[in-house]
Amino acid sequence: MALLFRSSVDSEARWKPQLTRLMPELDVRLWPRIGDRADIDYALVWRPEPGLLASLPNLKLILSLGAGVDHILCDPQLPRHVPIVRLVDPYLTDAMSEFVVLQVLRLHRQDLDYQSQQHAGIWHELPQKNAGECKVGILGFGEIGQDAGRKLAALGFPVSGWGRRERILAGFPTYAGPEGLFQLLPRSEILVCLLPLTRETEGILCARTFAALPRGAGLVNAGRGGHLVEEDLIPALDRGQLSAAALDVFQQEPLPPAHPFWHHPRILVTPHIAGITNPTTAAPIILDNIRRCEEGRPLLNQVDPAQGY
């Protein structure tokens, strides 16, 4: 049983020992030295080269190294008959929620203003609100969105969520579909994007969306760079429609050195680290799906390519 490991960001040295410790019979082949392509049963990937998966004639299952699968579905030669599973790992979910809580608190507690006051040696008290007075709207109320929502709610933030389908969740007002979006936005003093990148969600963080938020709202984007229409952000910040943005993901990664986001005083930039996949916790989850596939049992977290997530 052979598995191709291909990641454009992660090192094989972190993964191979974890995988083979738990499944010694697994023959892990590291791109590009993969031997006979006909041997490969499984592909564990992050942003594989277009056409790579199509070149594996006996591929049984594609496993994403992350929660998102846009990096797989964007391959125009993707073999459509091969099932795809994404990673749902409580460790990754916790990491994402930590990031969201951190950024929401930074925006809520005016961290950028106090940082610039410190740099200028200014001792000045700004008006303060409690969490209970700051409504948070979460776009993408799935595994990660709901966990982040629960943790923000525990701090006192009134949290609402938005998804594709209507759902009832105790303790959280939820909204769905395009109409629901424009009901949620005016109720979001901080808007958090935890959506998958699909045809429907691409460009969702745009001037029209910002205009529907309360004036001075904060933005956190930890979904994908493609959610944000980048040229709409700085005008919204400069006009005061948005007060600040914390961005972990970008249209182009790494963010080019000359990009205006690096030095804008109201933008916080992190290098796509909100949730980094941890081989120790993820390997057993990945191998569980391989075992399920071998035994003909239902896969966990299978993606619907037609929906894009």
Number of residues that bind ligand OXD (CB under 6 A): 5
Q: What is the CA radius of gyration of the chain?
A: 21
Look up residue 202 and give its amino acid.
Answer: E
Minimum separation from the CB atom of position 107 to ligand OXD (A): 21
Determine whether 272 is an active site residue.
yes
Considering only residues 54 to 73 of the shown chain, the ones binding ligand NDP according to CB under 6 A are 66-68
Considering only residues 223 to 282 of the shown chain, the ones binding ligand OXD according to CB under 6 A are 275, 277
Please say which residue, 48 or 66, places its beta carbon nearer to ligand OXD.
66
Query: Which residue has the CB atom at the shortest distance from ligand OXD?
Result: 66
Dihedral of the alpha carbons of 198, 199, 202, 208, in degrees to the nearest 10 = -130
Binding of ligand OXD by 140 (CB under 6 A): no
Binding of ligand NDP by 196 (CB under 6 A): yes
Contact 214, 242 (CB under 8 A): no
Minimum separation from the CB atom of position 212 to ligand OXD (A): 27
Binding of ligand NDP by 142 (CB under 6 A): yes
Binding of ligand NDP by 223 (CB under 6 A): yes
Candidates 26-34, 46-54, 100-108, 220-228; binding stretch for ligand NDP (CB under 6 A): 220-228
Binding residue for ligand OXD, selected from 48, 66, 142, 161, defined by CB under 6 A? 66
Binding of ligand OXD by 137 (CB under 6 A): no
Phi-psi region of 240 (alpha: psi -120 to 50; beta: other; left: phi over 0): left
Residues 6+ apart with CB under 8 A from 151: 97, 100, 101
Query: Cα dihedral sign for 260, 261, 265, 269?
Result: negative
Binding of ligand OXD by 142 (CB under 6 A): no
SS (H, E, C) 172-207: ECEEEHHHHHHHHHHHCCEEEECCCCCCCCCCCECH
- The Cα 211–Cα 188 span in angstroms is 12
Strands across the sheet with 2-7, in order?
27-30, 2-7, 40-46, 61-64, 84-85
Question: Which residues contact ligand OXD (rule: CB under 6 A)?
Answer: 66-68, 275, 277
Question: Which residues contact ligand NDP (rule: CB under 6 A)?
Answer: 66-68, 88, 92, 96, 140-145, 162-165, 194-198, 200-201, 222-224, 248-249, 272, 274-275, 309
